Amino acid sequence: MRLLKFYQTAVGKKVVVAVTGVVLFLFLIAHMAGNFKVFAGPGVIDEYALHLRTMLEPIFGWAGVLWIMRAVLLACVLAHIITVALLIRQNRKARPHKYHRHHLQASTLAARLMQVSGAVILVFIVLHILQFTTGTVQPAPVLFHEEGGHMMAEVYRNLHAAFSLWWVAALYIFVMACICVHLYHGGWSFLQTLGADNQDRNRCFRIWAIVLALGLFIGFSSVPFCFWTGMLPPPAADEVAHTPATSTEGH
Amino acid sequence: MRVILHVWRQDGPEASGGFERHELSAVEPDMSFLEMLDTLNEQLISNGHDPVTFDSDCREGICGACSCVINGRPHGPGHKSTTCQIRMRAFCDGDEIWIEPFRSGAFPVVKDLMVDRTAFDRIIEAGGYISTHSGPKPEPNASLVPHSIAEEAMDAAECIGCGACVAACPNAAAMLFTAAKVSHLGLLPQGQPERWKRARSMVEKMDEEGFGACTNFAECQDACPKGVSIRFIGRMNRDYMKAALCEPETRQGPLKAH
């Protein structure tokens, strides 16, 4: 009851957007750290993908932890988007008659583009899962093999195949730029919404937003960029890829 | 100097309005913006037309009565100034000036450039007060306030309730106004008894009045004639979170042990 009342106010909704945004941001950090394993050699990221599924297997079963994480992330994405949609509706209602001239003075371009960058990221998330997790969308062939009775994606091989296509790599780097822009505003905005900002800290928080936005952009883009330019080696030829995709299990 | 004015004319809250073009030739650079509008009205009246309705009171930047969005900016081109403090020297000879009312669903247009800002009064009524005793004057040093806190409370109390924050916000949010009011009382000892109740009821009232939600664009801070900081919005959010989620609704009665 109390939570519902909290959520009904604009401030409550903003807090929900901020907190779910932080969870998604933490996920991005973890995802990027996982991606860096491609630089450690072709087998390492596949080992990591297997580890994600066997982690705490005796308690949660095969990929149990992974599914818990997926459920939390899905809940956060949905809460983030639905709450933002409700806020947008409230904001549109709050100004029924537009200005004939309205000069925005203080806001950054990133802030004004939050809805656009957010929409691009949403479409990307769907396509990204359809491409590398389920293998439904295959600009380049996505291969799976069997591991202890479960289907596993050939992570390194699939990444290499996809990002060797210039347009796939370019598209990924473009979306990472959108994430960068989204986080430049979001990385500061959540601190302001949660009331952590003040005159002493503001400069640090703005720098922090630049560092994290650029850090995630460079970190994430390095993988498609390095595959595209051939800086990362192709997978070993003797590792034969097996079954084409039908399973929902993968990276 | 000569200026071309495009003034918003609207007969009432329900009427549809439009811009009306006027030319003023005898404008002194030292005239205030409102004096320029007075001149326009004299010209309109002498020609037998309806004068332009606009709000004004003290004309020295402290009452918060004057409004208007001038060339797309609430209170016009000045920094930390109200419409009445703008001088015509801020414009050039032959400039076209577009004058619109503050636009927000919660601020219905009364007529022309005048909007009804009583939504702000209702937010104040919801919690912008303190309870105090009506007996003899207490010893001033009985409750000490650190200097920095007193200054911070004064920074929030600078808000004159003009509504420029709502006008400047792309979402017509009243967060800066409400935050200033929640904070200037919430920082001082006198405001502590109602602190959590105040945060809750004022935030809820703000939504009820139909204002939008903050997107941290910081446009309000830029347009505020008193330079109230958006830091107070963060402070209000923090107070509201504590009030809505942590503070007990009732402190009475036993706890059931069975």
**CATH code (residue B90):** 3.10.20.30
Q: Which are the contacts of B9, defined by CB distance < 8 A and separation ≥ 6?
A: B17, B18, B19, B20, B52, B112
Model pLDDT, residue B175:
97
Look at residues B73, B92, B110 and tell me which one is the last residue of a structural domain: B110
Q: Is residue A250 part of a domain?
A: no
Which of chain B's residues have a Cβ under 8 Å away from the Cβ of A94? 104-106, 171-173, 210-212
H or E segment and range at residue A135: none
Task: Give the DSSP per-residue string, chain B.
Answer: --EEEEEEE-SSSSS--EEEEEEE----TTSBHHHHHHHHHHHHHHTTPPPPP---SSSSSSS-----EETTEETTT-SS--GGG-BGGGS-TT-EEEEE---BTTB-EEETTEE--HHHHHHHHHH-------SSPPPTTSS---HHHHHHHHHHHT-----HHHHHSTT-B-HHHHHHHHHHHHTSGGGSTTHHHHHHHHHHHHHHTT-B---S--HHHHH-TT---THHHHHHHHHHHIIIIIS-S---SPPP--
Q: Is residue B178 part of a domain?
A: yes
Report how far residue B20's alpha carbon sits from residue A154's, in angstroms, rounded to the nearest whole number: 69
What is residue A118's three-state secondary structure? Answer: helix
Same domain assignment for residues B45 and B97: yes
Same domain assignment for residues B126 and B103: no
> Interhelix angle for A10-35 vs A166-193, to 10°?
140
Same domain assignment for residues B158 and B59: no
Same domain assignment for residues B63 and B104: yes
Same domain assignment for residues B123 and B203: yes
**How many CA atoms does the CB half-sphere of B120 hold within 13 Å?**
27
Task: Give the DSSP per-residue string, A45-79.
Answer: HHHHHHHHHHTTHHHH-TTHHHHHHHHHHHHHHHH
CATH assignment of the domain containing A187: 1.20.1300.10
Q: Is residue A105 part of a domain?
A: no
Same domain assignment for residues B121 and B239: yes
CATH assignment of the domain containing B141: 1.10.1060.10
Same domain assignment for residues B126 and B203: yes
Q: Is residue B131 part of a domain?
A: yes
Q: What are the tens digits of pLDDT across the range A63-109?
A: 999 999 999 999 999 999 999 999 999 999 999 999 998 888 889 99
H or E segment and range at residue A151: strand A150-153
Model pLDDT, residue A246:
45
Number of domains in chain B: 2
Q: Is residue B10 part of a domain?
A: yes
Ramachandran quadrant class, A216 (left: phi over 0; alpha: psi -120 to 50; beta: rest): alpha
Q: Which are the contacts of A109, defined by CB distance < 8 A and separation ≥ 6?
A: A181
Same domain assignment for residues B136 and B83: no
**Per the CB < 8 Å rule, is A94 touching B210?**
yes
Report how far residue B35's alpha carbon sits from residue A73's, in angstroms, rounded to the nearest whole number: 59
> What is the pLDDT of chain A when averaged over all its residues?
91
Residue B218 belongs to domain spanning: 117-246
Model pLDDT, residue A150:
85
What does DSSP say about strands A243-244 and B3-9: parallel, antiparallel, or unpaired?
unpaired
Q: Decide: B109 and B13 in contact? Cβ < 8 Å.
A: yes
Distance from CA of A182 to the nearest CA of B (A): 13
H or E segment and range at residue A145: strand A143-147
Which of chain B's residues have a Cβ under 8 Å away from the Cβ of A104? 170, 217, 219
Model pLDDT, residue A237:
63
Residue A121 belongs to domain spanning: 2-88+111-244
Same domain assignment for residues B126 and B242: yes
Distance from CA of B225 to the nearest CA of A (A): 14
Of A9, A95, A101, the CB nearest to B105: A95
Nearest to B69 by CA among B162, B184, B198, B194: B162
Q: What are the tens digits of pLDDT across the range A109-147?
A: 999 999 999 999 999 999 999 999 988 888 888 888 888
Number of domains in chain A: 1
B-chain residue closest to A103, CA distance: B72
Q: What are the tens digits of pLDDT across the range A142-176?
A: 888 888 788 888 899 999 999 999 999 999 999 99
Q: What are the tens digits of pLDDT across the range B121-167?
A: 999 999 999 988 888 988 888 889 999 999 999 999 999 999 999 99
Q: Is residue A94 part of a domain?
A: no
Which of chain A's residues have a Cβ under 8 Å away from the Cβ of B234? 192-198
% of chain A beyond a pLDDT of 70? 94
> Interhelix angle for A114-128 vs A64-94, to 10°?
150
Same domain assignment for residues B142 and B227: yes
| DSSP character at residue A38 | G
Nearest to A17 by CA among A193, A182, A240, A159: A193
Q: Is residue A15 part of a domain?
A: yes
pLDDT means per 10 residues, chain B with 258 residues, are 96 94 94 96 96 96 95 94 96 96 96 97 96 86 92 97 96 97 95 94 96 96 96 97 91 88
Same domain assignment for residues B147 and B41: no
Which of chain B's residues have a Cβ under 8 Å away from the Cβ of A97? 103
Look at residues B60, B82, B110 and tell me which one is the last residue of a structural domain: B110
A-chain residue closest to B100, CA distance: A99
**Per the CB < 8 Å rule, is B245 touching A199?**
no
Q: Is residue A193 part of a domain?
A: yes
Q: Is residue B254 part of a domain?
A: no
**pLDDT at position A236 over 60:** yes
Same domain assignment for residues B121 and B241: yes
Q: Provide the CA A165 distance to its chain's centre, in angstroms.
A: 21
Q: Is residue B220 part of a domain?
A: yes
Q: Is residue B186 part of a domain?
A: yes
**Per the CB < 8 Å rule, is A101 touching B103?**
no
Look at residues B88, B110, B132 and tell me which one is the last residue of a structural domain: B110
Of B72, B105, B212, the CB nearest to A103: B72
Q: Is residue B258 part of a domain?
A: no
